[in-house]
Amino acid sequence: MTHETASRSSPGPLDPSRCAVALDTDDLSRALELARALRPWFCIAKVGLELFGAVGPGAVRSLRDEGFEVFVDLKLHDIPNTVARAARALGTLGARYVTLHASGGADMLRAGVEGLGGAARPAGTEPPVALAITVLTSDSVAAPELLAGRARLASAASCGGVVCAVADLPAIRSAAPDLLRVTPGIRPRGAAADDQARVATPAGAVAAGADIVVIGRPVTAVEDPAAAAEALLAG
């Protein structure tokens, strides 16, 4: 799936190519069990700090072997040289999406993009996409001018997309309409927000302009993940 396909051609909110499952566990066996159970609804598997910290590159390789596009969400934020090298290493693993903090500035973002672009990625994998983190969904407030500035920064640095709350999409779309828009904080209607301050339903996210929705605990921290995914992504 190309970044353009994900962002502009996927048919509707239920398309698995637009859905990323957040595998927030420190157990690779559990992550793979969840990924396999949820495969009908998700084409993208997100590896965050917890799983990568416990397992490292093996998590990315294992999920790629299962046929998933892998979203490595480490939120890189360091000096440009370090970010470039880290991004290159992640691209070499075959990561499809890699997150960088937009607050790191233009030089850092550009270094991350260049690092990904210089990666010797595995055969048959799509070019990696740099995603700039705008404002975390755990923050209760995101000023439109801050969002717009970070979106423009990401675009100028040649990032492929941004990560933002659904409520932030109008500001992002206005400032940088060509960026891929990835939205975490997805919950069933009426569900607890947990530590997410700004949440939305999958259908609400797509209607607002999200290209990819990221879903974690509502489908991974339940007794029957498959049933939860079916119910949540039913439209």
Residue 74 C-beta-side C-alpha neighbours within 13 Å: 22
Angular region, 105: left φ>0, alpha ψ -120 to 50, beta rest:
left
51's tokens: 């799983």
Question: In a 10 Å sphere around its CB, with 0-12 CB exposed, 13-18 middle and 19+ buried, how is residue 128 labelled?
Answer: buried
Q: Cβ distance 232 to 190 under 8 Å?
A: no
Q: Residues 39, 61, 75, 85: which is the catalytic one?
A: 75
Q: Cβ distance 38 to 51 under 8 Å?
A: no
Unique residue bearing structure tokens 């206005």? 174
The count of other CB atoms within 10 Å of the CB of residue 187 is: 20
Coil, strand, or helix at residue 87?
helix
Beta bridge partners of 19: 213
Is 75 catalytic? The answer is yes
CA 88 to chain centre: 18
**In 118-143, which residue ranges form alpha helices assigned H by DSSP?**
none
Q: Cβ distance 21 to 34 under 8 Å?
A: yes
Coil, strand, or helix at residue 161?
strand
8's tokens: 């502009």
The catalytic residue positions are 75
